């Protein structure tokens, strides 16, 4: 067993990153078997699950959406906040019962949670019915672990920083829009965040490999790619090369794929070159997710975010003025240790000034091993909940205000699938990443269409496909 050590992770030096060809082991041993996968957390995990599905299908498994029909279950976990943990342990309780009736069921727990020493130990001691425990750095080994699976619990969580794997077989969730990893890990070490520990140090993929992947996706008919990384605009800083994120973005746009997106950007690394490239290419979507985290410069300093309130607002205004019709969303944490009412008022002030298109908002959750978890937290939960409620009300009012401006306009929408809002509707996204439920477009899944916007809510738009009269 190889467990991560938080202290070691923080003290690490620049270990050499290796680029490794993915294993893609093929076997028909599990030809008539089914797998069930549940993914928690961010887009990175969603894309990791596409890799896990590739591994399982190469071994012969087929996917089932019903857990009780599965012969193998994978939980791809998230560690970002405590409630993510709770959900996984809750589901493991259900699986324990299922396994009583189905003793051969193979249960695998992977992703960010097992990268935490305490979780890996807990799984070993209290959850012996879990067969395989793997981390974020060794997904590539999952196939081997399953083939080796014995009655004894297998725990393989690497403490090393992780390498870069190329040419993996993915089973992608969509045929029209694809995630493309451009980097792994994060070197920012924001004081509240567990990601640098669970995902390791920053490792960028080589630009040529990324471009090859995008070109292949385009050939396969994909219309959109989203470049993925914890900190995309720090791309390339760890490579011995002269290119950065702006160069990469430009080259991805030049492949001619219809839509290019990227998440997530850090304000610290947001360069003028990047803004110019986004503004200069029609196929780079005018949508930026730019986490604020707090509006108080005092709290930002405690968070290790490397910018002040004024610097964030200046960057925000620059992006708004240079990129036509850009929409900007953000992440905000309330209740960071020592956040006073005045600090929270500063957050509201920034929200009132920036009027974000939307935001993901969170109550601070102490993560074991992070510097912030050592700061005494004196704010009562009730106060944190009130702050979150107030913040959400404000955020939602601005989202609605932005969305209402779309009523009566015609927008290009990439239609992704059937809508939850009624059988006759489909859903898709505008260039600015607004969710639209569209009527009379049932045959347009996988297409870019023009949609006339008829109504707006805080989280979505309604619209009708624009049909041009034939002359
Ligand atoms: N507590 C609450 N929210 C957190 N985030 C990251 N770590 C924590 C934490 N310990 C939020 C940040 C980040 C988003 C993905 O999750 O806002 O941008
Ligand atoms: Fe976490 Fe900060 Fe890195 Fe984002 S930039 S993943 S918040 S450490």
pLDDT tens-place string over residues 185-232: 999 999 999 999 999 999 999 999 999 999 999 999 999 999 999 999
Q: Is 85 in the pocket of ligand 2 (CB under 6 A)?
A: no
Q: Band the pLDDT of 10: cuts 50, 70, 90.
A: very low
pLDDT at 16: 74
Would the pLDDT of 12 be above 70? Answer: no
Q: Is 196 in the pocket of ligand 2 (CB under 6 A)?
A: yes
Task: Write out residues with Cβ below 6 Å of ligand 1.
Answer: 80-81, 192-193, 291, 293, 331, 333, 362, 364-365, 367
State the CATH class of domain 286-404.
alpha beta
- The helix (H) or strand (E) run that includes residue 23 is none
Q: Are strands 34-39 and 62-63 parallel, antiparallel or unpaired?
A: parallel
Count of CB atoms within 10 A of residue 175's CB?
13
pLDDT at 4: 46
Instruction: Characterize 318-327 residue by residue with b for buried, 16 or more Cβ atoms within 10 angstroms of its Cβ, and e for exposed.
Output: ebbeebeebb
Would the pLDDT of 153 be above 90? Answer: no
Count of CB atoms within 10 A of residue 65's CB?
9
For residue 299, give the nearest of 225, 195, 191 by alpha carbon. 191
pLDDT at 9: 46
Instruction: Identify the residue whose C-alpha is closest to ligand 1 atom 13.
Output: 331
Give the pLDDT confidence of 267-278 residue by residue, as tens digits. 999 999 999 999
CATH of domain 410-465: 2.40.50
For residue 295, give the nearest of 325, 340, 327 by alpha carbon. 340
pLDDT at 223: 98
Give span(s): CATH 3.30.750.200, the chain.
Answer: 286-404
Rounded mean pLDDT, 432-446? 96
Domain with residues 174-261, CATH architecture: 2-Layer Sandwich (3.30)
- Report how far apart, in Å, the C-alpha atoms of 141 and of each of 25, 134, 155, 240, 286 are: 9, 9, 12, 28, 38
Q: Please state the pTM of the whole predicted model.
A: 0.94
Which ligand does the CA of 366 lie closest to? Answer: 1
State the CATH class of domain 6-156.
alpha beta
In testing the pocket of ligand 1, which one of 186, 291, 331 has its CB within 8 Å of the most ligand atoms?
A: 331
Q: Is 267 in the pocket of ligand 2 (CB under 6 A)?
A: no
Which 8-state DSSP code applies to residue 284? B
Would the pLDDT of 111 be above 80? Answer: yes
pLDDT at 275: 98
In testing the pocket of ligand 2, which one of 115, 183, 191, 195 has its CB within 8 Å of the most ligand atoms?
A: 195
pLDDT at 311: 98
Gap between the Cα atoms of 450 and 452, Å rounded: 7
Give span(s): CATH 3.40.50.12160, the chain.
Answer: 6-156
φ, ψ (nearest 5 deg) of residue 412: -80, 130
Helix (H, G, I), strand (E, B) or coil at 60: coil
pLDDT at 470: 64
Question: 209, exposed or middle or buried, with CB in 10 Å at 0-12, 13-18, 19+?
Answer: middle
Cα 310 to ligand 2 centroid, rounded to whole Å: 20
pLDDT at 471: 56
Would the pLDDT of 281 be above 70? Answer: yes
Gap between the Cα atoms of 449 and 435, Å rounded: 14
pLDDT at 2: 43
Cα 186 to ligand 2 centroid, rounded to whole Å: 6
Rounded mean pLDDT, 235-239? 94
Q: Is 41 in the pocket of ligand 2 (CB under 6 A)?
A: no
Cα 34 to ligand 2 centroid, rounded to whole Å: 36
What residues does 293 pair with on adjacent strands?
Answer: 332
- The helix (H) or strand (E) run that includes residue 471 is none
Give the pLDDT confidence of 347-402 residue by residue, as tens digits. 999 999 999 999 999 999 999 999 999 999 889 999 999 999 999 999 999 999 99
φ, ψ (nearest 5 deg) of residue 48: -60, -35
Q: Judge contact between 213 and 255, C-beta under 8 A.
A: no
Gap between the Cα atoms of 155 and 44, Å rounded: 22
Tokens at residue 417, please? 């699938």
Helix (H, G, I), strand (E, B) or coil at 282: coil
Instruction: Identify the residue whose C-alpha is closest to ligand 1 atom 18.
Output: 331
Work out the percent of the chain whose per-residue pLDDT is above 90.
87
Which ligand does the CA of 291 lie closest to? Answer: 1
Tokens at residue 92, please? 């493991």
Count of CB atoms within 10 A of residue 205's CB?
22
Q: Band the pLDDT of 160: cuts 50, 70, 90.
A: low
Would the pLDDT of 182 be above 90? Answer: yes
Instruction: Identify the residue whose C-alpha is closest to ligand 1 atom 2.
Output: 364
Which ligand does the CA of 185 lie closest to? Answer: 2
> Measured from the CA of 80, which atom of ligand 1 is nearest?
7
Q: Is 248 in the pocket of ligand 2 (CB under 6 A)?
A: no
Gap between the Cα atoms of 178 and 121, Å rounded: 35
Cα 188 to ligand 2 centroid, rounded to whole Å: 6
- The helix (H) or strand (E) run that includes residue 115 is none
pLDDT at 159: 63
> Measured from the CA of 193, which atom of ligand 1 is nearest?
7
pLDDT at 14: 54
Which ligand does the CA of 370 lie closest to? Answer: 1
- Report how far apart, in Å, the C-alpha atoms of 208 and of each of 211, 243, 255 are: 5, 11, 12
Instruction: Identify the residue whose C-alpha is closest to ligand 2 atom 4.
Output: 230
- Report how far apart, in Å, the C-alpha atoms of 57 and of each of 23, 33, 217, 321 are: 13, 10, 20, 47
Q: CB neighbours of 286 closer than 8 A, spacing ≥ 6?
A: 278, 323, 324, 325, 326, 327, 431, 432
Question: Which of 20-29, 75-84, 128-137, 148-157 is predicted least confidently?
Answer: 148-157
Rounded mean pLDDT, 283-287? 98
Gap between the Cα atoms of 435 and 384, Å rounded: 29
Q: CB neighbours of 372 closer than 8 A, spacing ≥ 6?
A: 191, 192, 302, 303, 336, 337, 364, 366
Give residue for tokens 């620049």. 14
pLDDT at 157: 85
């Amino acid at each position: 067993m190889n467990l991560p050590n938080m202290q070691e992770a923080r003290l690490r030096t620049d270990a050499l990153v290796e680029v490794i060809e993915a294993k893609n082991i093929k076997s028909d041993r599990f030809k008539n078997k089914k797998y069930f996968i549940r993914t928690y957390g961010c887009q990175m995990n969603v894309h990791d699950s596409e890799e896990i599905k590739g591994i399982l299908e190469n071994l012969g498994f087929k996917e089932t959406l019903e857990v009780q029909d599965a012969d193998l279950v994978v939980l791809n976990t998230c560690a970002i906040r405590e409630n993510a943990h709770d959900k996984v342990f809750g589901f493991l309780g259900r699986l324990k019962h299922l396994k009583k009736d189905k003793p051969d069921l193979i249960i695998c727990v992977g992703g960010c949670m097992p990268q935490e020493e305490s979780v890996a130990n807990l799984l070993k001691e209290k959850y012996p019915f879990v067969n395989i425990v793997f981390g974020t750095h060794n997904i590539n080994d999952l196939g081997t672990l399953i083939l080796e699976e014995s009655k004894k619990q297998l725990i393989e969580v690497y403490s090393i920083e992780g390498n870069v794997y190329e040419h993996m077989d993915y089973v992608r969730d969509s045929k029209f829009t694809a995630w493309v990893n451009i980097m792994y890990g994060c070197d920012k070490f924001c004081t509240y965040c567990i990601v640098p520990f669970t995902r390791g140090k920053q490792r960028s993929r080589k630009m040529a490999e990324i471009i090859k992947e995008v070109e292949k996706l385009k050939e396969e008919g994909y219309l959109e790619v989203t470049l993925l990384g914890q900190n995309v605009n720090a791309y390339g800083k760890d490579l011995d090369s002269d290119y950065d994120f702006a160069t990469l973005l430009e080259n991805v746009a030049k492949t001619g794929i219809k839509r290019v997106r990227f998440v997530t950007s850090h304000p610290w690394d947001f360069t003028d070159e990047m803004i110019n490239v986004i503004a200069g290419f029609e196929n780079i979507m005018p949508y930026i997710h730019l986490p604020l985290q707090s509006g108080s410069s005092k709290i930002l300093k405690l968070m290790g975010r490397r910018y002040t309130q004024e610097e964030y607002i200046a960057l925000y205004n620059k992006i708004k003025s240079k990129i036509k019709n850009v929409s900007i969303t953000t992440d905000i944490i309330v209740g960071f240790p020592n956040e006073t009412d005045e600090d929270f008022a500063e957050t509201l002030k920034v929200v009132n000034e920036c009027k974000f298109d939307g935001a993901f908002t969170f109550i601070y959750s102490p993560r074991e091993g992070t510097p912030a978890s050592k700061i005494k937290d004196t704010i009562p939960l009730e106060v944190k909940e009130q702050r979150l409620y107030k913040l959400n009300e404000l955020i939602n009012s601005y989202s609605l205000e932005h969305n209402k401006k779309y009523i009566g306009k015609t927008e290009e929408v990439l239609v992704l699938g059937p809508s939850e809002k009624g059988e006759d509707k489909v859903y898709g996204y505008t260039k600015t990443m607004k969710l639209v439920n569209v009527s009379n477009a049932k045959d347009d899944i996988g297409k870019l269409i023009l949609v006339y916007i008829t109504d707006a809510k805080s989280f979505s738009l309604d619209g009708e496909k624009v049909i041009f009269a034939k002359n």
